């Protein structure tokens, strides 16, 4: 009996439903090998990629073969110069439109039949919006075919010849990096995410609207973007400098403004913010110093961070458990993007998991972590997103974003994660992060204070503007000593207390500033003092003690102050023997007593 050959249609849906691929065929009938090559070229401020898509289909049975192949793209995919062919020559594509999707169907010229036979199909096109230039980085999200049994999948990315760009973030990690070629073999994630460049720069313009409704003067605080383990700020301008600045217990960069009764102020600010993929080593000691001080409250319940239905998280014992639970069980409610959101908090989102936005993902993560003895906190800021269906941002009319951090007690470092964006994009935001998260405020002690930029409003205004930047501003290191307070005439045995004020008049945070005290004929304690950090506009009072190096001496001493090894100034002191000093003090005291008596006598005569 003659075997009946069954012709099958092979369908791939490309970039549909969060970049997932689906395949309709019988896995047992074929062995399929996919290879996609992306050849990048840079033209001015854009990246173009020539895509070579090849598929080798091996028949595992003698009575079936493939005679059609279909691939679908969203209309926004922006492909051009599409050509296709099989082993026997060119294949004319049949292009159809349906909704927001374009489908390309190809019919094989003369498919091979028989067990073990191989049919190859090739598709080539140009694609202009897959790789994106953001400031001084390149970013890409590549689709991954959902691997079936009996299939292999390989992705090759070829960077432009001569480029200095290096891959800094890759999810998953490549199997090979060789020159300008990057290879992923059989990735199991829904997408491949990669960033090229060591840091990202953003120009951030923020407006703060302050109003004192009281009939009494008032002091109001605003939170500027802070330096953190993963970002560095440059203060380009402030329309009105604050009365003072300070760092709170969470490390927030706070500015204090004085407002008269019923006064309003509009503070306009311009920052450049540099975001890094790895922790900044100069910040680690300060970060751990704060953690040790903050441990007492980093496990506490707070409004929005309280769970009473503990049975719902009974099986969640690790950070990974909590994160995976959220990614799998919460659903992002895109309808809330265009409405006035009411923050639900951890307990309520457990009851209504389909109503989550970024705040709910974050609140539940922080609350559940603290319940399990894991130090956690919330970050509110800005998520730089080119596709809000994949990476939505939603905190206010200025579309801010929120994500959690947990403290890794083994590595002694804060680690950011983003269960929201993994839920919506399929990109891994647990094992590594990205360069698209800008911190405005840190919430560890309180779940709702300080307010992030964009929340200081007196009307319906757009107060947050963020654009990718490629030019790093000049770093102005301007540290001043203000108000040295010392006694310059000292005796030879008394210990004196002195202090001075260090002020950062530059545009960047100063880290690990060393202040040293030395001199001739003088003993100083401590001989050195380290200021872990000082933000722009910040002041720090440093206390020290000093005394003459020798007793029974009458000589001159010199106090020398240096900042980070550079001499700042020297000061002359006069030393007198203790007896002589005692006589001077006694005479001074006697003169003061006589003066008091004379004044008292005059006052009595006046009233007699």
- What is the H or E stretch that residue 424 is in? helix 419-425
Q: What is the pLDDT of residue 136?
A: 84
Give phi and psi for 579, each to the nearest 5: -60, -45
- What is the token pair recorded at 380? 């509110």
d(CA 268, CA 237): 8
Q: Closest Cα partner for 324 from 315, 337, 311, 334? A: 315
Lowest mean pLDDT among 24-28, 33-37, 141-145, 467-471: 24-28
Question: Is the separation of the CB atoms in 9 and 68 below 8 Å?
Answer: yes
Q: In whole angstroms, what is the distance from residue 598 CA to residue 502 CA?
A: 43
Tokens 């458990």 appear where? 321
Query: What pLDDT, in 10s, does the model give residues 156-206?
Result: 999 988 888 888 899 999 999 998 999 999 988 878 889 998 899 999 999
Q: What is the mean pLDDT of residues 443-450?
A: 97
Rounded to whole angstroms, what are the CA distances from 432 to 402, 422, 424, 444, 568? 17, 11, 16, 22, 43
Other CB atoms within a 10 A radius of the CB of residue 289 amount to 13
CA 452, CA 111: separation in Å to the nearest integer?
A: 62
Q: What is the mean pLDDT of residues 465-477?
A: 90
Proportion of the chain above pLDDT 70, given as a percent: 88
Most confident of the following: 30-39, 78-87, 358-367, 455-464? 358-367
With contact defined as beta carbons under 8 Å apart, do 40 and 47 qualify? yes
Tokens of 447: 């779940």
Q: What is the DSSP letter of 354?
A: G
- Residue 341, pLDDT > 80, answer no
Find all residues with CB under 8 Å of 114, minimum gap 6, and list them: 59, 62
The answer for residues whose C-beta is within 8 angstroms of residue 416's C-beta and 6 or more apart is: 230, 379, 403, 404, 405, 433, 437
Q: Is the pLDDT of residue 498 over 50?
A: yes
Q: Please, are residues 244 and 256 in contact by the beta-carbon 8 Å criterion?
A: yes
Instruction: Report the candidate in 252, 243, 180 with the shortest Cα–Cα distance to residue 217.
Output: 243
Q: The tokens 């001015």 sit on which residue? A: 44
What pLDDT score does 77 carry?
65
Question: Cα separation of 194 and 128, whole Å?
Answer: 17
Strands 89-90 and 79-86: antiparallel
Cα–Cα distances (Å) from 106 to 57, 120, 202, 300, in that order, read 14, 12, 44, 61
Lowest mean pLDDT among 123-127, 268-272, 295-299: 123-127
- Cα distance between residue 519 and residue 509, in whole Å: 29
Kindly report the number of other CB atoms within 10 A of residue 608's CB atom.
5
Segment 20-24 long-range contacts (CB within 8 Å, at least 24 positions apart): 20/143, 20/146, 20/190, 20/426, 21/143, 21/144, 21/145, 21/146, 22/146, 23/145, 23/146, 23/148
What does the angle CA 287 – CA 292 – CA 293 come to, to the nearest 5 degrees?
Answer: 95
Distance of CA 364 to CAs 33, 48, 268, 357, 375, Å?
42, 41, 34, 11, 13
Q: Which of the pair, 147 or 302, is modelled with greater confidence?
A: 302
Rounded Cα distance, 605 and 608, in Å: 5
For residue 385, the tally of other CB atoms under 10 A from its CB is 17
Alpha carbon 117 to its chain centroid, in Å, reads 52
Instruction: Tell me the CA distances in angstroms from 354 to 330, 361, 558, one per residue in order.
Output: 6, 11, 71
User: Mean per-residue pLDDT for 292-320?
Assistant: 96
Distance in Å from the first CA to the final CA of the chain: 143
Average pLDDT over residues 564-573: 87
Q: Tell me, what's the pLDDT at 20?
A: 31
- By CB atoms closer than 10 A (0-12, 13-18, 19+), residue 109 is middle
Structure tokens at 470: 């490629």
Angle at 578 between CA 577 and CA 582, to 5 degrees: 120
Average pLDDT, the chain: 87
The predicted-structure confidence for 231-249, as pLDDT tens digits, reads as follows 999 999 999 999 999 999 9
DSSP, collapsed to helix, strand or coil, labels residue 546 as strand
Question: Dihedral through CA 157, CA 162, CA 164, CA 166, nearest 10?
Answer: 20
Phi, psi of 548 (to 5 degrees): -65, 145
Average pLDDT over residues 274-287: 95
Distance between CA atoms of 319 and 302, rounded to whole angstroms?
Answer: 19
* Structure tokens that stand for 338 in this block: 């265009």
Q: What is the DSSP string of 549-581?
A: SSSS---EEEEEEEETTEEEEEEEEEEE-HHHH
> What value does the mean pLDDT take over residues 125-141?
83
Please name every residue paired with 238 in a beta bridge, in sequence order, or none if there are none: 269
Q: Using alpha carbons only, what angle is made at residue 385 by residues 382 and 390, rounded to the nearest 5 degrees?
A: 120
Q: Which residue has the tokens 């903050």?
A: 294
- pLDDT value, residue 174: 93
Contact 520, 571 (CB under 8 A): no
What was the pLDDT predicted at 2? 40
129 is written with which tokens?
């919006």
Residue 212 has pLDDT above 60, yes or no: yes
pLDDT, tens digit (0-9, with 9 covering 90-100), for 44-81: 777 888 999 898 988 888 887 778 777 777 666 677 88
**Alpha carbons 319 and 495: distance in angstroms, whole number:** 53
Bridge partner residues of 142 (DSSP): 192
Output phi, psi for 374, to 5 deg.
Answer: -105, 125
Rounded to 5 degrees, φ, ψ at 240 are: -140, 120
């Amino acid at each position: 009996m003659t075997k009946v050959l069954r012709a099958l249609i092979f369908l791939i849906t490309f970039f549909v439903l969060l970049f997932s691929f689906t395949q309709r065929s019988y896995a047992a009938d074929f062995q399929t090998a996919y290879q996609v090559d992306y050849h990048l070229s840079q033209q001015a401020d854009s990246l173009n990629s020539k895509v070579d898509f090849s598929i080798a289909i091996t028949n595992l049975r003698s009575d079936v073969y493939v005679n059609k192949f279909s691939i679908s793209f969203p209309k926004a995919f922006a492909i051009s110069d599409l050509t296709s062919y099989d082993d026997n020559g060119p294949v004319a594509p049949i292009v159809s439109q349906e909704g927001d999707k374009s489908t390309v169907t190809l019919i094989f010229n003369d498919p091979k039949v028989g067990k073990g036979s191989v049919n190859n199909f090739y598709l080539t096109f140009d694609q202009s919006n897959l790789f994106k230039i953001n400031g001084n980085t390149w970013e890409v999200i590549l689709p991954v075919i959902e691997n079936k049994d009996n299939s292999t999948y390989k992705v090759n990315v070829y960077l432009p010849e001569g480029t200095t760009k290096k891959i800094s973030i890759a999810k998953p990690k490549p199997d090979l990096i060789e020159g300008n070629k990057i290879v992923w073999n059989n990735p199991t994630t829904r997408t491949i995410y990669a960033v090229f460049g060591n840091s990202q720069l953003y120009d951030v313009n923020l407006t703060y609207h302050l109003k004192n409704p009281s009939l009494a003067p008032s002091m109001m605080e605003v939170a500027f973007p802070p330096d953190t383990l993963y970002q560095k700020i440059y203060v380009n301008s402030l329309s009105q400098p604050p009365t003072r600045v300070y760092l709170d217990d969470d490390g927030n960069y706070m500015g204090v403004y004085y407002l008269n009764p019923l006064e309003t102020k509009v503070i306009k600010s311009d920052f450049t913010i540099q975001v890094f993929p790895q922790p900044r080593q100069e910040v680690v000691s300060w970060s751990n110093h704060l953690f040790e001080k903050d441990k007492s409250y980093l496990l506490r319940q707070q409004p929005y961070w309280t769970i009473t239905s503990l049975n719902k998280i009974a099986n969640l014992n690790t950070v990974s458990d909590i994160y995976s639970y959220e990614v799998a069980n919460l659903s992002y409610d895109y309808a809330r993007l265009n409405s006035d959101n009411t923050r639900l908090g951890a307990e309520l989102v457990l009851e209504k998991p389909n109503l989550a936005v970024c705040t709910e993902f974050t609140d539940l993560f922080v609350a559940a972590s603290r319940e399990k003895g894991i130090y956690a906190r919330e970050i509110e800021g800005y998520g730089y997103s080119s596709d809000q269906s994949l990476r939505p941002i939603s905190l206010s009319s200025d579309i801010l974003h929120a994500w959690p951090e947990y403290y890794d007690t083994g590595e002694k470092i804060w680690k950011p994660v983003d269960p929201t964006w993994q839920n919506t994009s399929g990109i891994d935001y647990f094992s590594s992060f990205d360069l698209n998260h800008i911190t405005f405020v840190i919430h560890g002690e309180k779940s709702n204070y300080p307010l992030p930029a964009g929340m200081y409003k007196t009307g319906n205004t757009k107060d947050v503007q963020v654009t990718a930047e490629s030019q790093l501003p000049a770093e102005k290191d301007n540290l001043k000593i203000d108000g040295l307070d010392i006694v310059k005439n000292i005796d030879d045995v008394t210990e004196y207390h002195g202090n001075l004020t260090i002020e950062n008049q530059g545009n960047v945070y100063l880290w690990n500033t060393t202040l040293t005290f030395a001199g001739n004929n003088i003993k100083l304690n401590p001989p050195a003092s380290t200021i872990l950090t000082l933000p722009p506009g910040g002041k720090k009072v440093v206390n020290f003690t000093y005394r003459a190096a020798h007793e029974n001496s009458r000589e001159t001493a010199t106090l020398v102050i240096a900042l980070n090894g550079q001499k700042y100034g020297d000061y002359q002191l006069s030393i007198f023997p203790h007896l002589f000093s005692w006589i001077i003090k006694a005479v001074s005291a006697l003169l003061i007593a006589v003066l008091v008596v004379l004044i008292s006598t005059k006052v009595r005569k006046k009233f007699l």
